[in-house]
């Protein structure tokens, strides 16, 4: 059993007085079994959406992750052996490149697993932010085993470590646009350099936590099954600590919308509402 962690000192984030809107969109599906996703004794099919955040800022369109894209629909991505990890479905019109009128200025990657990076092959994004820790790990072993992802994406690695950045909600963080509205936060564990994205939008704060939690059940006390954690979490202790931080933040900050990586209830999307 993991050791209990001390509580964090948290000051809940607030909205900002600017026209920043947030939308969560589904770019497709990974089909799996509940017993491999949540350790609560249940089983049966679960259809996990590939969620992407769209931040509409007056100065830029920013994405959180990219989902999967056209190469997956065509059957060429992910290649073997990643293709064995699940059944993927990218219906017509759902890929991010089909949803956007123009390329995003910035894509903020929560981590570099294949189902979060595949859509980058289509997007021609201005900058793709990732952490130095994740890029050094995954650029060497594959980025979804795709040479195109290594060479055609404008990767902008960021150092998210104590002493190299400010702290927001107790985590090392970088101000994405310099106006305090959008923050790129360190959240390691699921991958060595996993990150979260905090958006202080017009209607309140949003927090994208990537695959620190796949589904909302992980925020409610359940965890991934032991064998699943062994397979997917690069640093189990760090993953546990990051999940505890997200749980505490959600519990103490009821106005905060926490967006997990593949929550089925968000398959039809979510968006900012007028304040």
pLDDT at 4 over 70: no
φ, ψ (nearest 5 deg) of residue 121: -60, -25
Name all domains of the chain by residue range, CATH numbers in brackets: 21-264 (3.60.15.10)
Q: Which two tokens stand for residue 127?
A: 């900058």
Say how far apart CA 213 and CA 60 lie, in whole Å: 27
pLDDT at 148 over 50: yes
Least confident of 93-97, 162-166, 202-206, 242-246: 162-166
Say how far apart CA 26 and CA 171 lie, in whole Å: 28
Residues of 46-79 as b/e, b for ≥16 C-beta within 10 angstroms? bebbbbbbbbbbeeebbbbbbbbbbbbbeeebbe
Segment 259-263 mean pLDDT: 98
Q: Report the phi/psi class of residue 178: left, alpha or beta, with left for phi > 0 and alpha for psi in -120 to 50.
A: left
Q: Which two tokens stand for residue 62?
A: 């920013």
Give every CB contact of residue 142 below 8 A, 6+ residues apart in sequence: none
Segment 95-110 mean pLDDT: 97
pTM of the model: 0.94
pLDDT at 83 over 80: no
Say how far apart CA 115 and CA 30 lie, in whole Å: 9
User: What's the Rg (C-alpha) of the chain?
Assistant: 17
Question: Tell me: the pLDDT tens digits for 191-211?
Answer: 999 999 999 998 999 999 999
Question: Tell me: the pLDDT tens digits for 207-249?
Answer: 999 999 999 999 999 999 999 999 999 999 999 999 999 999 9
């Amino acid at each position: 059993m993991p050791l209990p962690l001390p509580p964090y000192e948290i000051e809940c984030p607030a909205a900002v007085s600017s026209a920043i809107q947030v939308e969560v969109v589904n770019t497709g599906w990974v089909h799996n079994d509940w017993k491999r996703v949540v350790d609560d004794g249940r089983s049966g099919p679960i259809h996990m959406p590939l969620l992407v955040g769209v931040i509409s800022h007056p100065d830029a369109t920013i994405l959180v992750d990219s989902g999967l894209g056209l190469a997956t629909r065509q059957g060429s991505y992910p290649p073997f052996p990643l293709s064995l990890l699940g059944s993927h479905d990218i219906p017509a019109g759902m890929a991010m490149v089909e949803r956007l009128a123009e390329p995003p200025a910035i894509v903020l990657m929560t981590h570099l697993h294949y189902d979060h990076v595949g859509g980058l092959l289509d997007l021609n994004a201005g900058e793709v932010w990732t952490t130095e820790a994740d890029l050094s790990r995954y650029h060497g072993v594959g980025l979804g085993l795709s040479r195109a992802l290594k060479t055609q994406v404008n990767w902008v690695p960021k150092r998210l470590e104590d002493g190299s950045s400010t702290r927001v909600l107790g985590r090392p963080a970088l101000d994405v646009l310099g106006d305090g509205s959008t923050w790129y936060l360190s959240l390691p564990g699921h991958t060595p350099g996993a990150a979260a994205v905090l958006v202080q939008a017009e209607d309140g704060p949003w927090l994208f936590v990537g695959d620190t939690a796949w589904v909302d059940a992980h925020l409610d006390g359940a965890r991934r099954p032991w064998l699943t954690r062994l397979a997917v979490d690069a640093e189990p202790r760090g993953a546990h600590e990051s999940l505890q931080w997200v749980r505490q933040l959600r519990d103490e900050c009821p106005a905060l919308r926490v967006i997990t990586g593949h929550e089925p209830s968000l398959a039809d999307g979510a968006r900012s509402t007028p304040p």
